[in-house]
A and B are shown apart, each in its own frame.
Chain A
Amino acid sequence: MSIDMAQFHQVFFEESFEGLDIMESGLLNMDPGTVDDEEINSIFRAAHSIKGGSGTFGFNDISGFTHIMETLLDEMRDGRRPVTPEAVDVLLRSVDVLRDMLAATSDDGEVDEERVQEQKAELEQILNGKPGEVATDVGAADVAAQPVGGVEVRPIGWHIVFRPLSHMLRTGNDPLRIIRELAELGDLKSEGDISALPALSSYEPEDSYLSWDLHLHGDVEKQAIDDIFDWVEDDCELIIMPLLPEGEPEAVMVAATAAPTASEAETPVVQAAPPPVEQRSKKDRRSSKDRRTKDRRQSVGSSGGGSIRVEISKIDALINMVGELVITQSMLSMLGEDFEMDRLERLNDGLAQLERHTRELQESVMQVRMLPISFTFSRFPRLVHDLSSKLGKKIELKMTGENTEVDKTVIEKIGDPLVHLVRNSLDHGIEMPEVRLAAGKPETGTINLSASHKGGNIVIEIRDDGQGLNRDKIEEKAIEKEIIDEDHNLSDQQIYELIFAAGFSTADVVSDVSGRGVGMDVVRRNINELGGSIEIESDPGKGSAIIIRLPLTLAILDGQTVTVADETYIVPLVSIIESIQVKADQINRVAGKGETFKLRDEFLPILRLHELFGIENPNASSLEEGLLVVVEGDGRHCGLFVDDLLGQQQVVIKSLEANYQRVDGISGATILGDGSVALILDIPGLLRLAAETGADSAAKQTA
């Protein structure tokens, strides 16, 4: 199986740069001496993702470097190491180094090895616990942080000799177009050579006799130039040479061959006295880097700015549909011009047609956002290959349903969670070959990665034939980490689900692959953010499976309309377990405030929506009058108290952030049939909001 990994590099770099930004701002926010768990967790997660991604793509020096940072962060997270200003400084500088490493890798530039090694040494020094020495090293590191001249010299431009063969014009290629494109890349100075031009009598109008000497100044990738000449490389003689900052011979040559006065006016870059050339190139380099950073910021800022490739057939379907819609519209307007009651039937037909076309149009527009999941799946063969050899295991990866189409946003967000899950299967699930043979299983373990459509959902499954989840070990760890009490009475399934708790890991040794306990909680959060759910199945000794269910599209949601007083809200149907009316004797109070009710064997906290949202005069003030919608978010259940349920409907999700800002407990808005706006509840967000306002002290008691 050969897959071009390069197509995913861009995504990885974008994600990593975002991760670095998160780390940087997190570190800057960190107060020395105190550890803000959330802050340090987010820094740690970012580092972990970068390490994971770089490992996947084979950028081993980046993953090695990040691993050291991660180890340090891990110790800080667990409180084993104090957060000192020195350590934060070193981490910040490491972020810079990492950023340069990533930038260099993404631009095919050279990494400043010396600096990386120094930074690595500094990190290791901190890890070995010698704070004093580190402090004195700061100065040295600052010096090292300056770009070292001469180690990495970027060309200030390119010298291109372009001699089209005589038949080039006949291939339909126009040298002028090529030169114009080059001019767009930077400051282009061209010089034509007409020496090959024959006498007019023997001139062949379809032959090309000219050739050019081109000097392109500016920070231009060679790749960009190669791309321009891509079509003509077989039809011309082409030499591309870099113009180096110190490359004075080049500059001199230009000056010598160019007509002196004209060149002075046109090419100040070359003519400007040679000595400052090196300095300027340095500045150019920096400014080009600044520009890059800025570009990236912009692209991050306008996150909707990404592009999408769409099959022509989908566009054609759209155009057809619009055509139909226009026909229906004109038919209806003709009908409306002089309407009489006896044409009512035709009006009804027309409206029915309009409805059908609108729905079809909506579906085809949704199709445009759909991409095959192979975009995500195709990074796994490499991952499995690399990791299995590293772990000394024999593993076969089987993939099915790669052509299942999912929303573009899902593709972007599901990648990392899937990487975590596959790594987990590799590391924890599949046993070593000897163990497998001893257990009477084939030596080679199998991981099945599949995607399919099931009843309006996308189901992604990661199934392995390994040892399954170790119930006892999970239980033991959970008790040790004080996630559960010793005298709990949880079912096996509930125990398995503990692996989604934050900070949970059963691996005895923290390895490069997994075992840091970051991951499963993030996995679940990412999936919840996409409006999906995650389930776990395990059969001891036979294997385990993770099943992820995701909504088909993120633009439309199945919702339940609920009312409180005169306000209408939409609850996503995926979050709803059931809706019930409670009796007074089912309700208990905790500490006189928090209300809970017993549903089968579980005590669930009650959240009153009107209290959370400050809605005045709800119709139902006592719990028996209204309804409890039992909802699930982030693995917690609770009863959401509302006045009434109205009905279920599909709603189109509109962003609140587009014109306003994010609102706690609200995931978006939609427009109802009467044109009014209803807000869509974000159940996990609502639970967090409740926890913050302290309204669910009961929830903490039962959770």
Chain B
Amino acid sequence: MNEPQAKIEAALENQGEEYLTFRLGEEDYGVDILRVQEIRGWEAATRIPNSPEYVKGVVNMRGSIVPIFDMRQRLGMEVHPYSKNTVVIVLRVKNERGERNMGVVVDEVSDVLSTQKDRICNTPEFGGGIATDYISGLADADDKMIMLLDVDKLLNQGEQTDSENEDAA
């Protein structure tokens, strides 16, 4: 009789979190769903001159100028031609100067994953070569492993040196 009650309490204790998952090639990734502002189809962006390879350009999102990054290139994966499934996830990114909106290009959006905290494990150390800085954890979803991305680290990093310069100037 008390069993369901206990279960609910345990579930509440173990606050669930929701992630929007997407695919890059054969791999599954997830981002905190509360950071997702909008999901839109890929459309050509205006190129920004002399920007890093992974910066695809800027688009007009209801009157504001939003940069678009290619997630594959950002993570150092091989480039994949865009198809009709290619989507842009617009994310809210925080840094010390405030919040910004940025879009990332992914192969396709898969699902919303609800998971419990105890099913997220820490990222193992892979050793040299594989950057795990912006993976905040690994979620176990039935038969798949989903890499949860730390949006702030991932999308601010490219600019880190820049903002440091600015602070110093």
Most buried by A among B46, B51, B102, B159: B46
Asked if A663 contacts B65 (CB within 8 A), the reply is: no
Asked if A678 contacts B46 (CB within 8 A), the reply is: yes
User: How far does the alpha carbon of A671 sit from the alpha carbon of B45 in the complex, in Å?
Assistant: 12
- The contact string, 1 if C-beta is below 8 Å from chain A, for chain B 147-169, is 00000000000010011000111
Asked if B46 contacts A679 (CB within 8 A), the reply is: yes
Q: Is A403 an interface residue (CB 8 A)?
A: no
Asked if B67 contacts A660 (CB within 8 A), the reply is: yes
Q: Is A240 an interface residue (CB 8 A)?
A: no
Q: Which of B46, B48, B102 contacts A676 (CB 8 A)?
A: B46
Least CB distance, B40 to chain A, in whole angstroms: 13
A residues within 8 A CB of B58?
656, 660, 669, 677, 679
Q: Is A613 an interface residue (CB 8 A)?
A: yes
User: How far does the alpha carbon of A669 sit from the alpha carbon of B47 in the complex, in Å?
Assistant: 11
User: How far does the alpha carbon of A28 sit from the alpha carbon of B60 in the complex, in Å?
Assistant: 40
Q: Is A614 an interface residue (CB 8 A)?
A: yes
Asked if A659 contacts B64 (CB within 8 A), the reply is: yes
Q: Is A435 an interface residue (CB 8 A)?
A: no
Q: Is A542 an interface residue (CB 8 A)?
A: no
Asked if B50 contacts A301 (CB within 8 A), the reply is: no
Asked if B65 contacts A656 (CB within 8 A), the reply is: yes
Q: Which of A567, A568, A660 contacts B65 (CB 8 A)?
A: A660
User: How far does the alpha carbon of A567 sit from the alpha carbon of B96 in the complex, in Å?
Assistant: 33
Q: Which of B46, B50, B64, B163 contacts A658 (CB 8 A)?
A: B64
Q: Is A666 an interface residue (CB 8 A)?
A: yes
Asked if A302 contacts B97 (CB within 8 A), the reply is: yes
- The contact string, 1 if C-beta is below 8 Å from chain B, for chain A 438-451, is 00000000000000
A residues within 8 A CB of B51?
663
B residues within 8 A CB of A42?
169
User: How far does the alpha carbon of A535 sit from the alpha carbon of B67 in the complex, in Å?
Assistant: 38
Q: Is A198 an interface residue (CB 8 A)?
A: no
Least CB distance, A352 to chain B, in whole angstroms: 23
Least CB distance, A667 to chain B, in whole angstroms: 13
User: How far does the alpha carbon of A666 sit from the alpha carbon of B48 in the complex, in Å?
Assistant: 9
B residues within 8 A CB of A22?
169
User: How far does the alpha carbon of A624 sit from the alpha carbon of B19 in the complex, in Å?
Assistant: 56
User: How far does the alpha carbon of A662 sit from the alpha carbon of B163 in the complex, in Å?
Assistant: 10
Asked if B64 contacts A301 (CB within 8 A), the reply is: no
Q: Is B117 an interface residue (CB 8 A)?
A: no
Report the contact-size class of chain B (Cβ under 8 Å from the partner).
20 to 34
A residues within 8 A CB of B96?
301
Asked if A301 contacts B98 (CB within 8 A), the reply is: yes
- In chain B, positions 23-51 with a C-beta closer than 8 Å to chain A are 45-51
- The contact string, 1 if C-beta is below 8 Å from chain B, for chain A 596-631, is 000000000000000011110000000000000000
Q: Is B86 an interface residue (CB 8 A)?
A: no
A residues within 8 A CB of B48?
656, 660, 663, 666, 679
B63 closest partner in A (C-beta): A671
B57 closest partner in A (C-beta): A677
B residues within 8 A CB of A679?
46, 48-49, 58
- In chain A, positions 445-503 with a C-beta closer than 8 Å to chain B are none
- The contact string, 1 if C-beta is below 8 Å from chain A, for chain B 63-90, is 1111100000000000000000000000
B47 closest partner in A (C-beta): A567
- In chain A, positions 26-43 with a C-beta closer than 8 Å to chain B are 26, 28-29, 42
Query: Shortest 9 CB-CB distances between A and B: which pairs?
Result: A613-B49, A660-B67, A677-B46, A659-B100, A669-B65, A25-B168, A671-B60, A654-B65, A677-B60
- A sample of 15 cross-chain residue pairs with beta-carbon separation below 8 angstroms, ordered by A number, consists of A301-B96, A301-B98, A302-B97, A567-B46, A568-B46, A654-B63, A655-B65, A656-B58, A659-B65, A663-B48, A671-B63, A677-B58, A677-B65, A678-B46, A679-B49
Having A665-B49, A669-B65, A671-B63, one finds 17 other A-B pairs with CB under 8 Å, namely A22-B169, A26-B169, A28-B168, A29-B168, A42-B169, A301-B96, A302-B97, A613-B50, A614-B49, A659-B65, A660-B67, A663-B50, A663-B51, A666-B48, A669-B46, A677-B59, A689-B50
**Interface residues, chain A, with chain B CB atoms under 8 Å away:** 22, 25-26, 28-29, 42, 301-302, 567-568, 612-615, 654-656, 658-666, 669, 671, 675-679, 689
